[in-house]
Structure 1
Amino acid sequence: MNVYNSTTKDIDEIFKLYGIASDFQRSKKTVVVWPDFDRSMVSDEINENRQFKLLIDNKIACVWAITFSDEQIWRKRNDDSAIYIHRIATNPDFRGHNFVGSIVDWAKSYAKIQQKRYVRLDTIGENKGLIRHYTNAGFDFLGMFDLQNVDTLPPHYKEGPACLFEIDLNKSDK
């Protein structure tokens, strides 16, 4: 397993995995479903080295993106030094490999290199299974929060409260 920056050659596979993830969410009928994401947003993430892929046997097993600011979701907490993980999507051929755990390990190292204190992520709606999954991976669940301004966020952010999660690297090292 190796983590690399995604390239423009990966964009079709990234969107294929997003579609598979959306279909999976739809099949659960209890979670918010990802919309069709803006291709230019993902292209910008790739060009800014913020879109990543995990490879197994030279196949994309999982993708995710990061950002260093997420003010609309994290509000005042956005002033903290953090990386924010978004849109983890797994190739169904590789399900069951606990990629969230692998991403957490990678993100902790990456955050330290970037001199960030926190690793954060969010999900929309009260998905108890996903809350349990993220807390089992080492995140602290901070609670559910209504977002105030979602106009420039992807449309699924209008569908429920945001569940916020973080790992404080100053605490996790002790």
Structure 2
Amino acid sequence: MVVKNVSSEDLDEIFRLYNIASNYQKSKKTVVVWPDFDLEMVTTEINERRQFKLLIDEDIACIWAITFSDEQIWQERNKDAAIYIHRIATNPEFRGHNFVGTIVEWAKGLAEKYKKQFIRLDTIGDNSRLINHYCNCGFSFLGMFDLPNVDELPPHYKQGPVCLFEIDLK
């Protein structure tokens, strides 16, 4: 397994994996389903080297994005030194490999490099299976919160409370 930055040549595969993830969410009848994500947002993440892929034998097994600031979601806690992980999408050919755990280990190295204390992520809605999965990967579940302003966030943030998770590396 190798983690690399995504390139613009990977755009079709990124959106294919997002679509598969959305369809999977629909099939599981989850409360919140990912929308069609904005091409400009993803392209910006690629250009800023904040979109990543996990490769297994040259195949993209998983993708995700990061940021070092997430004020609309984390509000006052955004002042903390943190890495925020977004939109983990797994290639269905590689399901069951606990890529969240792999991403956590990768993020710990990144956190050390950039002197960050926290690794954080969020999800929308009351999905007990996903909440348990993230907790089993080392995250603490901080609770469910209503966000006061979701205007600049992707549309699925308007569909329910946000669940916040973090790993404190101190």
How many Å apart are 1:33 and its aligned residue?
0.2
**Cα distance between partner residues in 1 of 2:34 and 2:135:** 21
Instruction: Tell me which residue corresponds to 2:99.
Output: 99
Instruction: Tell me which residue corresponds to 1:159.
Output: 159
**Cα distance between partner residues in 1 of 2:112 and 2:120:** 13
Secondary structure class of the residue paired with 2:13: helix
Runs of 4+ displaced beyond 3 Å: none
State yes or no: 1:13 paired with 2:7: no
- Please list the CA deviations of residues 74-98 of structure 1 after superposition, one character each: whole Å capped at 9, or x if unmatched: 0000000001000000000000000
State yes or no: 1:85 paired with 2:53: no
State yes or no: 1:36 paired with 2:36: yes
Secondary structure class of the residue paired with 2:115: coil
Equivalent residue letter for 2:147? L
Equivalent residue letter for 1:61? A
Instruction: Name the TM-score, length of structure 2 as normaliser.
Output: 0.99
State yes or no: 1:27 paired with 2:43: no
How many Å apart are 1:31 and its aligned residue?
3.0
- Please list the CA deviations of residues 11-38 of structure 1 after superposition, one character each: whole Å capped at 9, or x if unmatched: 1100000000000001111331000000
Equivalent residue letter for 1:108? K
Q: Which runs of 5+ in 1 are unaligned?
A: none
Q: Give me the CA root mean square deviation.
A: 0.5
Instruction: Name the TM-score, length of structure 1 as normaliser.
Output: 0.97
- Please list the CA deviations of residues 93-112 of structure 1 after superposition, one character each: whole Å capped at 9, or x if unmatched: 00000000000100111111
When the two structures are aligned, how many residues end up with a matched partner? 170
- Please list the CA deviations of residues 32-71 of structure 1 after superposition, one character each: whole Å capped at 9, or x if unmatched: 1000000010000000010000000100000000001100
**Cα distance between partner residues in 2 of 1:15 and 1:150:** 23
Deviates further, 109-118 or 129-138: 109-118
How many Å apart are 1:161 and its aligned residue?
0.4
**Cα distance between partner residues in 2 of 1:44 and 1:38:** 10
Instruction: Tell me which residue corresponds to 1:126.
Output: 126
Equivalent residue letter for 1:2? V
Deviates further, 48-57 or 23-32: 23-32
**Cα distance between partner residues in 1 of 2:163 and 2:107:** 19
Q: Which runs of 5+ in 2 are unaligned?
A: none
